[in-house]
Amino acid sequence: MDTLREMLRFLSDPQNTFWQHTTDTLKLALVPTLLALLIALPLGVLVAQRPFVAFLVANLTGLVRAIPTLAVLAVMILYFKRIGFAPSTAALTALGVPPILLNTIAGLRGVDPAAVDAGRGMGMTARQVLVRIQLPLVLPVIAAGVRTAAVQIIATVPLAALIGGGGYGDYIIAGINLLEIPQLLVGAVAIALLAIVAELALAGVQRAVTPAGIRVGEAREMLATPPTPLDIAPRASAAA
DSSP for 167-218? TTHHHHHHHHHHT-HHHHHHHHHHHHHHHHHHHHHHHHHHHHTS-TTS-HHH
Sorted by where each begins, the domain ranges of the chain are 2-10+17-231
Task: Going residue by residue through the chain, which has 240 residues, state the pLDDT in tens, using 9 for 90 and above.
Answer: 688 889 999 999 999 899 999 999 999 999 999 999 999 999 999 998 888 888 888 788 777 778 888 888 999 999 998 999 999 999 999 999 999 999 999 888 888 888 888 888 888 888 888 888 888 889 999 999 999 999 999 999 999 999 999 999 999 999 998 888 999 999 999 999 999 999 999 999 988 888 666 544 444 454 455 565 555 655 544 433
pLDDT of residue 237: 41
Superfamily designation of domain 2-10+17-231: MetI-like (1.10.3720.10)
pLDDT of residue 229: 58
Q: Evaluate whether 39 touches 96 at the Cβ level (below 8 Å).
A: no
- Residue 72 to residue 92: CA distance in whole angstroms: 9
pLDDT of residue 99: 92
